[in-house]
């Protein structure tokens, strides 16, 4: 709603507790004037306020510059709960648990791939199933699937999908501890069993890009990224398994709320106390689903390396980093001047830890955590680095992408797939997608301006620009 915010500076806008009855904490949006207008035009404000009504939330109910209306929580929302008094909400993580992004950096320049983009894309399409109804190459038995849910990316590496050194460059080393396959339903496993190693559809993609700009040379070097380097960005999540886990636990939490005498203003915010049986069960199932997504991106990494090897020769393709966008984490943060462990919900937001943080691998501890921001199809993506400012203000979090600006219906109506493909070709981007409707729904104009979003996070200091990546070819599900 316009006028709801009190701006403290051009990029920080408080949603006061007086905005809505029942708010226990303030809200805060990070946005410039134009992005704020977008945010005020849908239900994002209402959702920031609704999250602020949940029991035991600490600090502020936050929204990043790419925020837009979601379910319960807005997309681009961050909120932290006290472990004793607070709640965990499955909707605060979302259906696509550990939807996230992984960046690979190749030993190659644009000249090495420019004439080979067609065969690269064709081979990627052959080797990595994507889109609705496509099954993965593996049909996992229950014991193997349980192993995936416990071990995450390590499960894949132990089966020769990738390298041991990949793991340290993944958030949580590719395995969220405590993933319990026993707490993942049979139907979630049925959905996931044939989907390991598949890209998915919607806004999931694999993009071949090159590094067009370096903004912070020493940090880029530490990340393993250089000017004009070819990189590959993977955006994918936990597929049907994660979606079913969230569905199952939302249902469980609805029933649990009665027992704990919690009522919520929005049913999609169904929640239970963090320390309750249901809360602990959800977090263990969520971890299992997150591990499925880590394993998924690990397998796709392996196949991407094989595709490059076949088409242009061995290209290295080391992992720069892999981040979650939809997750809940127990992390230590400064709350009311003292350090405490809280449960941070990030729904369409990225962890952005600063240099020195113990969660980072030793080779990144002097510089900080890579933050990967995919742009909309055919526009730029960015690499940023986490900061102390993020730790102070946003529970170590920042934006996750560009955020939608247009509904899928309007995006489809605005342009035909053929026109879109021609536009992309004129921009020098080769695009292949499984469905024409899927392509038009993901056109760049359907999203906010990623450059704007990144400028805001950079200006506010909750992440800092390191490099810009320009796409050459896009594979969409």
Positions that interact with another protein (CB under 8 A)? 42, 68-72, 75, 94-96, 131-134, 187, 190-191, 200-202, 240, 243-244, 246-247, 250-251, 254-255, 266-268, 270, 404-410, 434-435, 437-438, 441, 477
Q: How far is the CB of 244 from another protein (least distance, A)?
A: 7
Of 188 and 232, nearer to another protein (C-beta) is 188
- Residue 205's Cβ-count burial label (10 Å; 0-12, 13-18, 19+) is buried
Of 46 and 331, nearer to another protein (C-beta) is 46
Q: How far is the CB of 76 from another protein (least distance, A)?
A: 11
The residues, ordered by sequence, that sit 6+ positions from 237 with a Cβ below 8 Å of its Cβ are: 96, 97, 98, 99, 100, 200, 204, 293, 296, 326
- Residue 408's Cβ-count burial label (10 Å; 0-12, 13-18, 19+) is middle
Q: How far is the CB of 286 from another protein (least distance, A)?
A: 14
Of 446 and 469, nearer to another protein (C-beta) is 446
Assign 424 to helix, strand or coil: helix
Of 210 and 447, nearer to another protein (C-beta) is 447
CA separation for the pair 384, 111 (Å, rounded): 26
Structure tokens at 303: 């196949």
Assign 215 to helix, strand or coil: coil
Assign 155 to helix, strand or coil: helix
Alpha helices in 233-276 (DSSP H): 239-259
Structure tokens at 201: 């559809």
Annotated active-site residue in 204, 235, 302, 400: 400
Cα angle vertex 189, ends 130, 128, to 5°? Answer: 20
- Block residue for tokens 């999203």: 447
CA separation for the pair 99, 94 (Å, rounded): 9
Of 68 and 468, nearer to another protein (C-beta) is 68
CA separation for the pair 245, 242 (Å, rounded): 5
What's the first-to-final CA gap in the chain, in angstroms? 35
Integer-rounded Cα radius of gyration of the chain: 21
Beta-sheet strands, E only, within 99-141: 100-105
Cα angle vertex 362, ends 469, 462, to 5°? Answer: 50
Chain-centroid distance, C-alpha 437: 23
CA separation for the pair 462, 424 (Å, rounded): 32
The residues, ordered by sequence, that sit 6+ positions from 185 with a Cβ below 8 Å of its Cβ are: 244, 245, 248
Beta-sheet strands, E only, within 112-228: 205-214
Q: How far is the CB of 413 from another protein (least distance, A)?
A: 10
Q: How far is the CB of 452 from another protein (least distance, A)?
A: 17
CA separation for the pair 86, 66 (Å, rounded): 26
Q: How far is the CB of 50 from another protein (least distance, A)?
A: 11
Of 199 and 320, nearer to another protein (C-beta) is 199
Of 6 and 410, nearer to another protein (C-beta) is 410
Of 41 and 276, nearer to another protein (C-beta) is 41
Active-site residue 243, yes or no? Answer: no
Pick from 309, 335, 311: which is nearest to 82 by CA?
Answer: 335
Q: How far is the CB of 159 from another protein (least distance, A)?
A: 24
The residues, ordered by sequence, that sit 6+ positions from 326 with a Cβ below 8 Å of its Cβ are: 93, 94, 96, 97, 98, 99, 100, 237, 346, 347, 348
Of 389 and 412, nearer to another protein (C-beta) is 412
Assign 102 to helix, strand or coil: strand
Instruction: List the catalytic residues.
Output: 400
């Amino acid at each position: 709603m316009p006028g709801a915010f009190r701006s403290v500076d051009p990029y920080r806008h408080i949603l006061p507790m007086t905005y809505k009855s029942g708010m226990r904490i303030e809200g805060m949006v990070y946005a410039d004037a134009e992005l704020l207008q977008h945010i005020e035009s849908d239900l994002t404000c209402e959702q920031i306020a609704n999250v602020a009504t949940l029991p035991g939330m600490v600090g502020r109910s936050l929204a990043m510059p790419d925020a837009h209306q979601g379910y319960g929580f807005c997309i681009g929302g961050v909120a932290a709960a006290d472990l004793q008094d607070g709640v965990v909400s499955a909707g605060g993580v979302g259906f696509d648990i550990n939807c996230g992004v992984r960046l690979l950096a190749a030993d190659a320049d644009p000249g090495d791939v420019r004439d080979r983009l067609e065969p690269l894309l064709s081979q990627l399409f052959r080797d990595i199933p994507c889109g609705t109804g496509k099954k993965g190459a593996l049909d996992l038995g229950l014991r193997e699937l349980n192993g995936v849910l416990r071990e995450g990316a390590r499960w894949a590496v132990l089966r020769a999908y990738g390298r041991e050194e990949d793991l340290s460059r993944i958030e949580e080393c590719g395995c969220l501890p405590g993933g319990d396959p026993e707490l993942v339903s049979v139907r979630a496993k049925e959905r996931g069993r044939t989907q390991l190693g598949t890209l998915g559809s919607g806004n999931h993609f694999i993009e071949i890009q090159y590094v067009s700009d370096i903004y912070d040379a020493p940090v880029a070097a530490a990340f393993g990224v250089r000017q004009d380097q070819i990189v590959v960005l993977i955006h994918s999540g936990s597929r049907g398994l994660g979606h079913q886990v969230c569905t199952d636990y939302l249902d469980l939490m609805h029933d649990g709320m009665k027992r704990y005498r919690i009522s919520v203003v929005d049913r999609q915010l169904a929640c239970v106390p963090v320390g309750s049986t249901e809360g602990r069960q959800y977090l263990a199932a969520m971890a299992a689903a997150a591990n499925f997504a880590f394993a998924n991106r690990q397998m796709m990494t392996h196949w991407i390396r094989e595709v490059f090897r076949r088409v242009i020769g061995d290209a290295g393709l080391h992992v720069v980093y892999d981040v979650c966008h939809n997750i809940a984490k127990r992390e230590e943060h400064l709350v009311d001047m003292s350090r405490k462990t809280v449960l941070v919900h990030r729904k369409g937001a990225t962890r952005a830890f600063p240099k020195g943080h113990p969660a980072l691998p030793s080779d990144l501890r002097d510089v900080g955590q890579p933050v990967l921001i995919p742009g909309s199809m055919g526009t730029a993506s960015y690499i940023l680095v986490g900061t102390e400012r993020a730790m102070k203000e946003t529970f170590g979090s920042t934006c996750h992408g560009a955020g939608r600006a247009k509904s899928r219906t309007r995006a489809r109506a605005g342009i035909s797939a053929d026109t879109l493909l021609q536009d992309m070709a004129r921009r020098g981007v080769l695009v292949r997608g499984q469905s024409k409707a899927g392509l038009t729904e993901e056109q760049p104009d359907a999203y906010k301006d990623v450059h704007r979003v990144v400028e805001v996070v950079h200006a506010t200091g909750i992440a800092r620009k390191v490099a810009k990546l320009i796409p050459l070819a896009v594979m969409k599900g």
